[in-house]
Amino acid sequence: MSQQLTDVLHDPARLEELVRLRLLDTPPEEPFDRLTRLASRILGSPIALVSIVDGRRQFFKSAIGLPDPWASRRETPLTHSFCQHVVASAKPLVIENAPSHPLVRDNAAIADLNVIAYLGVPLTTPKGATIGSFCVIDTQPRKWSAADQQTMVELSASVMSEIALHYAYDEMHAANRTLRREMAERETLLRALRDSDTMLRAAQRLTGVGSLVLHEEPAGSNVIWSDQARGMMGIANAQPPTSVASFVERLVHPDDKQRVAAAIQNAMRHKQGCEIEYRVSKSDGDVRTIITAIEPKTTNGHGKAVLCTAMDITERSVTEAKLAEYRSELWHVARVATAGEMAAVMAHEINQPLAAISHTANACARLHARGSLDKDKLTDHLTDISAQAKRAGEILRRIRGFVRRAPATQQPIDLDLVVDDVLAMLSPISKGLSVKISRVRERGLSHVMGDEIQLGQLALNLVRNAFDAVKSNPASERVVTIRTSDVDREYVVLEVIDNGPGIGFDMRERIFEPFVTTRTNGLGMGLPISRTIAEAHQAELTLCNSGGQSRGARFSVVFPAITHCKVTAHVKGRLPDRR
Amino acid sequence: MSKVVYLIDDDEAVRKAIALLFTSVQLTVRTYRSGEDFLAAYQPIGPQDRACAVTDLRMPGMSGLELQRELHRAKINIPLIVISGYADIPRTVQAMRGGALTVLEKPVNEQELIDVVHQALNGTVLVDGRGQAVALDRYQAQLTERQREVFDLLMRGLQTKEVARQLGLSYRTVEVHRSQILKRLQVSSISQLLKQILVRPSQN
């Protein structure tokens, strides 16, 4: 087979066209048979074929006068194909006596199919691909006339028309099928959507959750507000706002307007959903706390919009506030209990300056009685007395501050100052136990958002636990390290590290449970309370390996640093100072 | 003969105030911020000298009780007055058992502290070989003034000859006083008296 012949037969564009036309391996069809019968009769040749040639065979879409087995196989390999040469040249092939024709004299069709005379014209698509040959065959040598050739050319045009018709019909059928399928899918989708809508309405009815759509610009009559949303915001019988601006202006509580507008704008601009808690002022004067999930709406280019799902959480926030109150009460009780445990030590601490005052005054009285009280010295002594009175006052201030019952506040607190105050308060205990305090303060952020008393309670619990842990060490080897540092200016970390016996693996998590204690005189509430305090400050209290040392425990509290805290509060849309 | 009060307290303000109190009654006082400091600075006193130590019970590092043990171990037989921070009964008992002259509770009554220091410095306290301090007031009360002077020196282990020289008396006179003392206290010898004093359970 010549190279040119191979190239043409395997031309990808031609093969693709063959596939597209869907002729290969299809059943015989009357319109094609009619044309082959016509050619056979007009030209008086026993055999006529519509032969489609692909890369390895010729397929007979129609065959007249072919002997079996070829008639039933409806194809031959290329070794038996004259038609491939018509395809290769894209020109009519006229053979009078095959055995003597240089192109086909070795072709197996001569012997096997008794092909002697052959007249084939190319079947070429409008795109210019020659897909096969329309041919007549005689079993004896024959001269083909110009009229014969002309007849074949004209009939081949009919074959091509038939193919085009066949193809168009097929296409139409396929398109129709696709359309039917899409319509069915659409129907299913619509049904699902209707079901979903029914369920959403029922869900809103049962839960009181409402939904609404807000547009960047007023949307005229395009109002999408569920009954629940209207009821929740107190506009059941009024026209609901459709734009963000009018929603904020008409319904949102004055103090929350700016925050809500910013959150919605942010959701629209960055195509990012968020949740926000805010208050709504109803026209009857009632103020409700609403939480709303805001999701950007996919639009077809007609301005931006957000989908809002809103829920009235006024009752929930009241409950939450109540819960926070009880929790804060519990913490207070725990602080009082802690102070009680330390009462003896604290009494001693107070006694020190009082003793100094008493002794100094008594000595002055004695000196004065003897007439040997120097005036300058007296000033010194009075200064000492005054300083010691202040010292006693300071100790009292710390203790009273610690056991004070005050509403929790959220404000920037310097954790370093809290830790220093706690260490000062615990100094009589550390002194009594000969604990060496290592206070490590790494440069960086130290402010966290929170409540000073609670943070003090947290730090005190951890440091007292550390003191207890080192008790079993010899007096000269009791070290407690308190470190404050920041991580990437994003977190503020408080670490309390002791060189005591450490905490066994089995106790690691249990120690955070209530009433679990390694102490004999403890209630086992210190760590659970510390953990809840940490959580209330969006911080995490964990027990880690002591790190670097083979002994001891390391408790760390990771707080969001203050800038980060502000951002979080903003993004989460929490109400500031709700309690 | 010198008299000195060693004052050991870690709290600077308290230390300063008690020192001033001692000074106001014309006592010589040396102050130390810890038991360790005191032990490091301590110089043995002469047989004629009088000294006592006033220490806080609760201190970082060496506690008052540990100081008491160290004094005993170093055979520093001076009366020890312990000031306890708060009602800490086990430690008080321990301090007394360890031979403290007395344990005073804070805030200390100034007069009481001054009295007990005077008692310690005026030789009316016997410190035995185990560091036990015993007040001898009970015996002294039965003696005349002169007899008490002799008694005090005898209790400090001085021989009759040395007592005579120190008091500027004749050997004979001291001997008479000595036998009168034994008679009044109803003992046959000084060593029997010492035995009687020292086997008694320690008490305030």
pLDDT in tens, A456-511: 999 999 999 999 889 888 888 899 999 999 888 889 999 999 988 888 777 777 78
The answer on A431 and A388 residing in a single domain is: no
Residues A109 and A233 in one domain: no
Domain of A522?
409-579
Is A492 within a domain? yes
Are A507 and A427 part of one and the same domain? Answer: yes
Q: Which of A220, A437, A212, A234 is nearest to A305 (CA)?
A: A212
Q: What is the pLDDT of residue A147?
A: 92
Cis peptide before A28 (omega within 30 of 0): no
Cβ count within 10 A of residue B95: 24
- Averaged confidence pLDDT in chain A: 87
Distance CA A343, CA B136 (A): 39
In a shared domain, residues A238 and A353: no
Assigned domain for A55 exists: yes
A391, B16: Cβ pair inside 8 Å? no
pLDDT at position A392: 92
SS3 of B88-153: the string is: CHHHHHHHHHCCCCEEEECCCCHHHHHHHHHHHHCCCEEECCCCCEEECHHHHCCCCHHHHHHHHH
Are residues A390 and A413 part of one domain? no
Three-class secondary structure of residue B20 per DSSP = helix
Q: HSE of A519 in the Cβ direction (CA atoms, 13 Å)?
A: 18
A47 plus A152 within the same structural domain: yes
Burial A111-127 (b: 16+ CB within 10 A, else e): eebebbbbbbbbbebee
Is residue A154 domain-shared with residue A38, that is, in the same domain? yes
Task: Name chain B contacts of A344, Cβ cutoff 8 Å.
Answer: 86
Query: Where a domain ends, among A312, A331, A364?
Result: A312
Whether residues A430 and A576 share a domain: the answer is yes
Within-domain flag for A196: no
Q: Is A378 on the interface with B (CB under 8 A)?
A: no
Domain shared by A334 and A294, yes or no? no
d(CA A551, CA A466): 13
Mark which of A149, A172, A195 sits at the end of a domain. A172
Pick the CATH number of B137-199 from 1.10.10.10, 1.10.230.10, 1.10.1040.50, 3.90.79.10: 1.10.10.10
CB contact under 8 A, A431 and B108: no
Domain final residue pick, A172, A193, A222: A172
Closest chain B residue to A360 measured between Cα atoms?
A: B17
Q: Is residue A203 one of the residues assigned to a domain? A: no
CATH number at residue A151: 3.30.450.40
Q: Of the given ranges (A419-428, B13-22, B170-179, B184-193), which has the lowest mean pLDDT?
A: B184-193
Kindly indicate the confidence band of residue A577, based on its pLDDT and cuts at 50, 70 and 90.
very low
Q: Å from B27 to nearest chain A CA?
A: 12
CB proximity A485 to B under 8 Å:
no
Helix (H, G, I), strand (E, B) or coil at B51: strand
d(CA A136, CA A147): 14
Q: Is residue A183 part of a domain?
A: no
Query: Residues with Cβ < 8 Å from A231, sequence gap 6 or more?
Result: A210
Asked if A384 lies within 8 A of B10 by C-beta distance, the reply is no
Q: Name the CA dihedral angle for B161, B167, B170, B172, rounded to a multiple of 10 degrees.
A: -70
* pTM to 2 decimal places: 0.55
Question: Does any domain span residue A511?
Answer: yes
Q: How many structural domains are present in chain A?
A: 4
Do β-strands B50-56 and B3-8 pair in parallel, antiparallel, or remain unpaired?
A: parallel
Q: Is residue A179 part of a domain?
A: no
What are residue A305's phi and psi, to 5 degrees?
Answer: -155, 160
Cβ contact A431–B10 (<8 Å): yes
- Indicate the pairing of strand A287-296 with strand A411-414: unpaired
Does the domain at residues B3-129 carry the CATH identifier 3.30.450.40?
no
N-to-C CA span, chain A: 93
Is the CB of B20 inside 8 Å of chain A's CB atoms? yes
According to DSSP, residue A225 is labeled B
User: Is A395 in the same domain as A415?
Assistant: no
pLDDT for position A223:
83
Q: Which of A221-230, B3-12, B92-101 has the lowest mean pLDDT?
A: B92-101
Q: Considering chain B, what percentage of its residues have pLDDT values greater than 70?
A: 83
User: What DSSP state is assigned to residue A539?
Assistant: -
Domain range annotation of chain B: 3-129, 137-199
Strands (E) located in A129-205 = 130-138
Please tell me whether residues A448 and A577 are part of one structural domain.
yes
Residues A292 and A276: beta-carbon distance below 8 Å: yes
Task: Indicate if A444 and A380 belong to the same structural domain.
Answer: no
Give the model confidence (pLDDT) of A85-141 as tens digits: 999 999 999 999 989 999 998 899 898 888 999 999 999 988 888 999 999 999 999
Does residue A194 lie within any of the structural domains?
no
SS (H, E, C) A259-303: HHHHHHHHHHHHCCCEEEEEEEECCCCCEEEEEEEEEECCCCCCC
